[in-house]
Amino acid sequence: MTATVSDSVRATSPDTLPATHERAATRRRYLMCEPRYFAVEYAINPWMDPSVPVDTELAVQQWRGLFDTYRRLGHDVSQIEPVDGLPDMVFAANGATVANNRVYGAKFLHAERGGEGPAYLNWFRAAGFDAHDARFINEGEGDLLVVGGRLLAGTGFRTVPEAHAEAGEVLGLSVVTLELVDPRYYHLDTALCVLGPDEIAYFPGAFSAKSQAVLRELYPGAILATAADAAVLGLNAVSDGYHVVLPAEAMALAKTLLARGYQPVPVQLSELRKAGGGPKCCTLELRP
């Protein structure tokens, strides 16, 4: 076998990170939902304060920026029609989990978001997907993250552990349960970002000591995000294997990604952050 440049770099200094040319973007298919009816009318996470005014028009504008970014990067973006009275429906990541051409439906913990599960399942069925209803509470890709053939599954605030096994069965993935302990990081996708089939970034402080040990063992080369990056929802990012779309405020994380050969693509989503959401929350990946 011929050694590549990066092999020799790795061999001489194990701390040197893979070079840019190793990263390759692959075309993705995403589902998004315009925040036409976005508001903060209830508080189901510490980011939400109904007394703070929300500019829905600005939220739509910023969301449009994210949508256009994906299109510019060459991805396919489908849209689901927003429903009046479901102000959090913009957070498409929570609508389901899709892998191996199968859809595991969401079942929300809070009544305020209850209508979103069926709305997303209807979209999937109408689009011809093999969609499965969930028996157990789970908030889609908010807590269920596909990393290669593995499903990293969060619990502690929303999704229940019983749903992890159910999701693994429906989607044909092996499951690793992770326990979230900080209410600011109530969904797994606020504390952990999937960069590639074997690469992640995460904020250790969001996880129980036991889950931190599991993550260290499974992903020894993971990017460890700072508290400051986590606090601007920097980990709520979307990777296509090369480009990583992330909140503009997550400066240290962007720098680290660049050093590891990724291309950070900053976006501004300050209005949606008032509900506790960032780019990943707005994006449901339709994996083939």
Among positions 2-41, residues that touch ligand ARG (CB under 6 A) are none
Member of 17, 33, 44, 192 binding ligand ARG (CB under 6 A): 44
Residue 270: how many CA atoms within 13 Å on its side-chain side?
A: 8
Here's the x/- map for ligand ARG, 151-190, by CB under 6 A: it reads as ------------------------------------x-xx
Among positions 194-223, residues that touch ligand ARG (CB under 6 A) are none
Structure tokens belonging to residue 18:
């893979």
Which strand (E) or helix (H) includes residue 166?
Answer: helix 161-171
Among positions 59-88, residues that touch ligand ARG (CB under 6 A) are 88
Among positions 106-125, residues that touch ligand ARG (CB under 6 A) are 113
Query: Which residues, listed in sequence order, are joined to residue 174 by a DSSP beta bridge?
Result: 150
Rounded Cα–Cα distance for residues 223 and 201 (Å): 4
Among positions 237-266, residues that touch ligand ARG (CB under 6 A) are none
User: Considering beta carbons, is residue 19 or 42 the nearer one to ligand ARG?
Assistant: 42
Contact 202, 222 (CB under 8 A): yes
Q: Is 281 a catalytic residue?
A: yes
Tell me if 281 contacts ligand ARG by CB under 6 A: yes
* Cβ partners under 8 Å of residue 15, min gap 6: none
Tell me if 105 contacts ligand ARG by CB under 6 A: no
Rounded Cα–Cα distance for residues 161 and 177 (Å): 7
Rounded Cα–Cα distance for residues 97 and 188 (Å): 13
> Whole-number minimum distance, CB 24 to ligand ARG, in Å?
26
User: Considering beta carbons, is residue 138 or 177 the nearer one to ligand ARG?
Assistant: 138
User: Considering beta carbons, is residue 94 or 256 the nearer one to ligand ARG?
Assistant: 94
End-to-end CA distance of the chain: 32
User: Considering beta carbons, is residue 187 or 243 the nearer one to ligand ARG?
Assistant: 187
Rounded Cα–Cα distance for residues 30 and 118 (Å): 19
Q: Which residues bind ligand ARG (CB under 6 A)?
A: 44-45, 48, 88, 91, 93-94, 113, 142, 187, 189-190, 275-277, 281
